Chains A and B, each alone.
Chain A
Amino acid sequence: MSPPISSCLAGRKKKSLLSFYFTAGYPKIDSLPLILHAMEEGGADFVEVGIPFSDPLADGPVIQQSNQQALKAGLNLEIVFGQLRKIPSLSIPLVLMSYLNPLISYGMEKLSRQCESLGIRTLIIPDLPPWIYEKSYRPIFEKYGISPVFMISEKTSVERIEKILDLSGEESFVYAVSSSSTTGTKTWTLNKKYFSRLKTLNQRYPVMVGFNLSSPQDLKKLGQYVSGGIIGSALIRYLGTPGWEQGLSSFVQGFRQSSD
């Protein structure tokens, strides 16, 4: 069981939140428990567990490669749930991130039931637009107390953001993409105009920024605008280096210190 994300989001005004994304099944099919343990130890506020997909459209080469490697090792959603069930209790909230098709294939109702039983109440589905969610999946998600997370970019209109807030649940946050890009593809520079908008939005609703953040300095820069940042490709790259098992919690701590 993992705690709900709302408890951690509630503390966002006191400190900058630190989150990580990693692909389940990478670098090894059974790496997940070890990674989660290091996340707790290193002081991550919450973690996104990525379900690998054969065709991850919004991802750059690093995450693509981790997806392929995990699939090659035979990872699937059922295995991820099995691994999570074996972890007695987690002190940090988990968010599940997956492209839509593996979830449709698994069955949305079954998925929601599994998530509920594991204490996972937040789902990110990057290729599920808000209005399709509203029509097709909202009733199921709400039945099991699951909240969706929608992404916004510098191009997302005010009306669309309002709609997203309207569809968001108790365990949602707004996922703001740092710039127009696939993950881990560009060097991030802070667009002042966009981040000022995010700052205003963050006063109403928790906003987390992700895509192309790679260093503790990046997190420091965005701390004054939003609730926190999500590190993805930089972590996956680190997990591909020898000795990551021993070093991971200090890797996390390195980011933690800059967020505090």
Chain B
Amino acid sequence: MSEPSDNKFPDAVEGYYGSFGGAYIPEILEENIRNLKENWSSICLSSDFVKEYESLLNQYVGRPTPMYHAKGLSELYKTHIFLKREDLCHTGAHKINNATGQILLAEKLNKKRIVAETGAGQHGIATASVCAMRGLECVIYMGAEDMIRQSLNVKRMSMMGAKVISVNSGSKSLKDATNEALRDWINHPNDTHYVIGSVVGPAPYPEMVAHFQSVIGHEILRQLSQPPDHMIACVGGGSNAIGSFYPFLNNPEVRLIGAEAAGKGLKDPQTPATLSKGQVGVFHGSRSYILQNQHGQIQSTHSLSAGLDYPGVGPIHAYLKEEGLVNYLSIQNHEALAAARILCNKEGILPALESAHALAVLEKESFSPTETIVICLSGRGDKDMMAYQKHGF
């Protein structure tokens, strides 16, 4: 099936990565999406916006985040390993880079109310925090299952004044929370902006979120004297990965590795490994790989890490996979847990379960002693203590 690559319809057709992406949305959202599409880049690239955004990243988020030379890990794997410490961002993960950008944008678009979905809770906390700081109403949708898994994060969001709504539809996790956030937007199209948390959703979201997260990669490039040989990041929807890969996408010298969660393994029917096991389809507004059954129904998934528990993936990753520009590996629960333990022991850093998937790549691939490897440590692991304890930590 050919997909459009140019367009006669007045609504333009940017937002496609090859045949992936697009904006497959119900008509009621058309005006909001068009409004974003027409305005986001001019607003976000204006010097006033850039100044305000950079100042917040600097003073509120705590950027630039350190580039840490992990000597213990380097010794263990006999190579040079650097960790991009996104876990040291305010609220504990890279998510706040995007939340801050989108909320500033929402203000410029005169939106007074913010809705967001959250899986692990990191995007929800980031959004709730920035909303509190800017005095905006904030509603977070979270799967009922995830609210149990990440109960501490639910409390944190509430303390920031956000209303956390439990989602009981479908599989009660991230995909369903995303559905509900989109439905909320359909029901409140005038005063509300939907802060999507990853490089998924209808165009221009993937492009816009990638833009806000590209600060990670730009800093990496500045902090190292030369580009690394390998850049590794975990992929759920894929926002910290694309942010890390961004400045290296046109550099064939840098090997890009995306680590997606395989849950209990690729043979498990609930594996969330979208790029390994998915088929092309349309879900949450864009054309990408999705986990679906033979009738086109979206599968529910299960990963130990709520943040990677998503049956879709950003369309840009679908494109990068198809073009062979990024090597996507799948990491099982037990491999991520082992990698987390190693990081604790060798470096005294507790990673988020999501980031532990990226660290697990060190066991899977071999690296030469002269190479430089950067791993995006996308988040910290406090929120995952219950899961770690359950698995014998």
Which positions in A face B, CB cutoff 8 Å?
53-55, 57-58, 60-61, 64, 68, 71, 76-77, 100-106, 108, 126-132, 134-136, 150-153, 155-156, 159-160, 163, 177, 180-182, 185-186
The 5 A-B pairs of least Cβ separation, nearest first, read A105-B296, A131-B9, A135-B4, A102-B296, A151-B27
Contact with A along B1-30 (1 / 0, CB 8 A): 111100111110100000000111111101
Whether the pair B27, A57 counts as a contact (CB closer than 8 A) is no
Whether the pair A104, B189 counts as a contact (CB closer than 8 A) is no
CB-CB under 8 A from B170, the residues of chain A are 54-55, 68
Q: For residue B279, which residue of chain A has the nearest CB?
A: A105
Closest beta carbon of chain A to B280's beta carbon, Å:
8
CB-CB under 8 A from B27, the residues of chain A are 126, 129, 150-153, 156, 177
B26 touches which of A76, A126, A160 (Cβ 8 Å): A126
Which of B9, B25, B187, B283 has the most chain A CB atoms closer than 10 A to its own CB?
Answer: B9
Q: For residue B31, which residue of chain A has the nearest CB?
A: A155
Which positions in B face A, CB cutoff 8 Å?
1-4, 7-11, 13, 22-28, 30-31, 169-170, 175-176, 179, 182-183, 186-187, 189-190, 281-285, 290, 292, 294-298
CB-CB under 8 A from B31, the residues of chain A are 155-156
The complex places the Cα of A107 from the Cα of B26 at a distance, in Å, of: 21
B282 touches which of A60, A104, A153 (Cβ 8 Å): A104
Q: For residue B9, which residue of chain A has the nearest CB?
A: A131
CB-CB under 8 A from A131, the residues of chain B are 4, 7-9, 11, 13
Whether the pair A155, B295 counts as a contact (CB closer than 8 A) is no
Q: For residue B295, which residue of chain A has the nearest CB?
A: A76
CB-CB under 8 A from B1, the residues of chain A are 104, 108, 136
CB-CB under 8 A from A185, the residues of chain B are 187
B28 touches which of A58, A61, A130, A163 (Cβ 8 Å): A58
CB-CB under 8 A from B187, the residues of chain A are 180-182, 185-186
Whether the pair A127, B26 counts as a contact (CB closer than 8 A) is yes
Whether the pair A100, B28 counts as a contact (CB closer than 8 A) is no
Whether the pair A134, B182 counts as a contact (CB closer than 8 A) is no
Whether the pair A104, B296 counts as a contact (CB closer than 8 A) is yes
Closest beta carbon of chain A to B119's beta carbon, Å:
15
Closest beta carbon of chain B to A104's beta carbon, Å:
6
Given contacts A101-B292, A127-B282, contact A153 B28 (CB under 8 A): yes
B3 touches which of A57, A101, A135, A151 (Cβ 8 Å): A135
Closest beta carbon of chain A to B237's beta carbon, Å:
15
CB-CB under 8 A from B10, the residues of chain A are 159-160, 163
Whether the pair B297, A71 counts as a contact (CB closer than 8 A) is yes
